[in-house]
Amino acid sequence: MGKLWAGRFQEDANELLDEFNASLPYDKTLWEEDIQGSIEHAKMLYFIGLLEIHELDSIVNGLNEIKQEILQGSFEFCIHDEDIHMAIEKALSNKIGNAGKKLHTARSRNDQVALDFTLYCRKHNILLQQLLSNLIATILYMAKKHTKTLMPGMTHLQHAQPISFGYHLVSWCMGLKRDIERLQYSMKLSDDCPLGSAALAGTPYGNERENLALSLGFKRASLNAMDSIGQRDFALDILYNIAMIMLHISRMAEELILWSSYEFKFITFSDSFSTGSSIMPQKKNPDVAELLRGKTGRTYGNLMSLLTTMKALPFAYNKDMQEDKECVFDSIKTASISIKILTESLKTLTINVDNMFKMCKKGHLVATDLADFLVKECNVAFREAHHITGICVQYAESKDKDLSQIDYKELCNILQNELELLIKKVNSNTNNIQTKINYEKLHEVLSLENSMQRRNSIGGCNSDEVKRQIHTLEQWLCQIA
């Protein structure tokens, strides 16, 4: 049998054109969605009186036989069939005869491919949500164990304030939560079924599109046929969503790479998720995290590829849109394996608690606490407190010590001297500064653990607050399950 569209052509297609034009080598990935759509379309044709019941049964049985052949690997894909849609239709007609030739009534490849591709993206949207949920659950399980494990919180990659490791892990989860919410929103945006739009202008057959949409898992039929076959927003949405997922994964991977280095030694990857060097026998490389970081770039490229393809197309279908699938298939595959391997590698991670605490004693993490102490206990304006604390930090560094390691009596003397100098500078009418330092309170303020626990505002790193954040996220996971 020749090409199904070849009636008006006098010459066969050039073999080079067949190779250039065909999408079958990659769009055969959509075979399951194509068969699903064809079965529901056939039922609709029977409903509106365009098929007899025996023809419907023949089509459905034939398509199910083709499904089994593909699953068993015995179905022969031929590049001359151009795409998965023609391949299945041709095989069906060869199998059941004239009834198979009726299947394409009241539809076009334009709405057929739009349907198949939308179904594929929706299916993998849900799978990505499930994988992300598992990743969040894994991270929260780790976070529960470390709500009191001190580590240096950083900004600009510099030591800033003491936080807990559990708190840091919860921050990872927030971006992943937004990723799931973006995927959920994309599902709502792709809830219009394109099948029945035909080439661009609808059909004269009176297709029962609303029930057809429901049978395929959509909420409704698309409103405008030209738009529904000529847009690929659903594909761009999943590409953007994946790019954001990989952005968050890449940032997590970057921290894991840093933390696993000898300079940090906060975590250790298990041997099962590490690799070695071909020349340096001592090496244990965090290649999983590095590949996660590296694969992010290809998902950005896939998004830009389709954006560029779509940016100047006239409305309705254009052959350029055949370039929409490979980038999506690749990004979905990349994101899926990335989320899976990150989840599994985290389960076997060793957390070096002692080294995290040791590193909290560097970088003057309690400096802000000292400034706050001066504000609350000595009635000093914050900017002045900030200045005095900076002088204390300079003193600590001159002694090659951390601020938390300075003798408290020594620190009290410095503070009292600076407070007395400040009194001389300010207007006597506002001279309410207290120069007497409460030694016990100062001792409490400069405790690393107390510093972490004091930050009990909503969203803070206090252990009970972090437990609340974990509980809130766990409840959310249960709601979306």
Rounded to the nearest 10°, the torsion over CA 94, 100, 103, 109 is: 10
**Tokens of residue 15, six digits:** 């073999």
What's the confidence (pLDDT) of residue 132? Answer: 98
Q: At what angle do helices 84-96 and 109-144 cross, to 10 degrees?
A: 120
83-97, 416-430, 466-480: range with lowest mean pLDDT:
416-430
14-28, 193-207, 398-412: range with lowest mean pLDDT:
14-28
**Average pLDDT along the chain:** 94
pTM of the model: 0.93
What's the confidence (pLDDT) of residue 431? Answer: 63
DSSP string, 244-256: HHHHHHHHHHHHH
Instruction: Give the residue from 242, 240, 22, 212 showing the smallest Cα distance to 119.
Output: 212
**Tokens of residue 433, six digits:** 């500064």
What's the confidence (pLDDT) of residue 1? Answer: 47
Query: When comparing pLDDT for 408 and 266, which is higher?
Result: 266
pLDDT digits (tens, 9 = 90+) for 129-183: 999 999 999 999 999 999 999 999 999 999 999 999 999 999 999 999 999 999 9
pLDDT digits (tens, 9 = 90+) for 442-463: 888 899 999 999 999 999 999 9
What's the confidence (pLDDT) of residue 5? Answer: 47
Residues 54 and 36: their CA atoms lie apart, in Å, by 19
Active site residues: 156, 277
Does the pLDDT of residue 64 top 70, yes or no? yes
Contact 238, 172 (CB under 8 A): no
Contact 37, 112 (CB under 8 A): yes
Contact 363, 163 (CB under 8 A): no
pLDDT digits (tens, 9 = 90+) for 3-32: 554 555 556 666 776 667 789 999 999 999
Tell me if residue 271 falls in helix, strand or coil.
helix
What's the confidence (pLDDT) of residue 148? Answer: 98
What's the confidence (pLDDT) of residue 139? Answer: 98
Residues 415 and 437: their CA atoms lie apart, in Å, by 8
What's the confidence (pLDDT) of residue 274? Answer: 87
Strand partners, 192: 220
Spacing of C-alpha 244 from chain mean position: 5
Percent of the chain with pLDDT strictly greater than 70: 95
Query: When comparing pLDDT for 433 and 395, which is higher?
Result: 395
- Helix, strand and coil content of the chain, in percent to the nearest 5, comes to 65, 5, 30
